Amino acid sequence: MSTRDKADSVVEPRKERRKSDEWRTALTCIEPNKILVRGYPLDEVMGRLTFGEAIYLLLLGEVPSPGIGRLMEAMLVSFIDHGTTPPSTLAARNTATTGAALRACVAAGLLGFGKYHGGDIESCMQFLDNGLDFVRKGASYRKAAEQLLERPLEANEAPPGFGHRFHTRDPRAARLFQMALELELEAEHIQMIRAVELVLNDKLVDGKHLPVNIDGAIAAVCGDLGIPPSIANALFIISRVPGIAAHAEEERVRQKPMRQIDPKDHTYDGPSERRLPERRK
């Protein structure tokens, strides 16, 4: 009878080492003066792969093709920050105002990444896979979308990957799909989510419009790139860490310690809208 996961699971202390105790890791090999990340010497990777490409390598085990690398960068950039109002960012700022070290502020911020916040991706990937089941059995994308949307529409709920409290058109999602198309990486998951978007918005009344959001776009792209849901989930975390860190730093530098942070009572005083210089690809 399996009891391995009970209470304070304690393995009886054993002093002698048995070969069967040995565990294995396939990520990084450390030897004197050598660091191999999935087999590649880290000092070679430095300067030849970008951080985004190295992240792909580390998480998925192989160097991405240039096209996949570009989509990877775009996905990581897309979630880098969303201002001061996400509760995770506020948790980080509230930690920063106590004088805590940056790592503690970032850790506090990350703990809010779950069910309601960045956690839509795994359920969206499942949702799209359900739809693709219908497609593989012979349904058109439209028919599959209608099947998928039966229950959410009945419950008057947005399906996973759709809707945004603030944006009626998520510019990040649109851009990601555009890039996937240009890089010829668009495949069945993206087609599935587009079909759902069409059917969904046909059925909405009163001029309502539910856009695909960035969770949905990343879910679809990851599906088409063969990136599993758990790794897609990791991308959200990796992407948002710079944003959380930037907010914690700004709190530390610009504000008095131990202040009461009102999430609604702020204004933006950064640069006005500007365009990237032309020379950049």
State which of positions 21-80 bind a second copy (CB under 8 A): 21-30, 32-52, 54-55, 58-59, 61, 63, 70, 72-74, 76-78, 80
Q: Select from 127-135, 136-144, 189-197, 202-210 the region that touches a second copy (CB under 8 A).
A: 202-210
Closer to a second copy by CB, 101 or 133: give it: 101
Closest by CA position to 195, among listed 177, 207, 208, 183? 177
Residues 138-157, interacting with a second copy (CB under 8 A)? 156-157
Region binding a second copy by CB under 8 A among candidate stretches 99-107, 129-137, 141-149, 187-195: 99-107
Q: Is residue 4 part of the contact set for a second copy (CB under 8 A)?
A: yes
Site for a second copy contains 197 (CB under 8 A):
no
**Exposure pattern of 207-225 as b/e (b: 16+ CB <10 Å)?**
eeebbbbbbbbbbbbbbbb
Minimum CB separation of residue 202 from a second copy in Å reads: 14
Cα–Cα dist 108/240, whole Å: 13
- Report CA-CA distances (Å) from 182 to 147, 194, 204: 29, 16, 30
Considering the rule CB under 8 A, would residue 275 count as an interface residue with a second copy?
yes
Q: How far is the CB of 197 from a second copy (least distance, A)?
A: 14
* Minimum CB–partner distance for residue 49 and a second copy (Å): 7
Closer CB to a second copy, residue 135 or residue 161? 161
Q: Which residue in 68, 110, 195, 196 binds a second copy (CB under 8 A)?
A: 110
Report the SS3 class of residue 68.
Answer: helix
CA separation for the pair 265, 68 (Å, rounded): 41
Give the residue among 196, 243, 247 at the shortest CA–CA distance from 220: 196
Evaluate the CA torsion angle 24, 68, 189, 121 in order and state its sign: positive
Q: Name which of 65 and 139 has its Cβ closer to a second copy.
A: 65
- How many chain residues bind a second copy (CB under 8 A)? 165
Q: How far is the CB of 157 from a second copy (least distance, A)?
A: 5
- The least CB distance from residue 139 to a second copy, in Å, is 24
Binding mask 212-251 for a second copy (x = CB under 8 A): -xxx--------------xx-xx--xxx-xxx-xxx-xx-
What is the Cα–Cα distance from 233 to 202, expressed in whole angstroms?
30
**How far, CA to CA in Å, does 244 sit from each of 56, 85, 261, 267?**
21, 11, 15, 18
- Residue 169 within binding range of a second copy, rule CB under 8 A: yes
Whole-angstrom distance, CA of residue 56 vs CA of residue 227 = 10
Rg (CA), the chain: 22
Q: How far is the CB of 211 from a second copy (least distance, A)?
A: 9
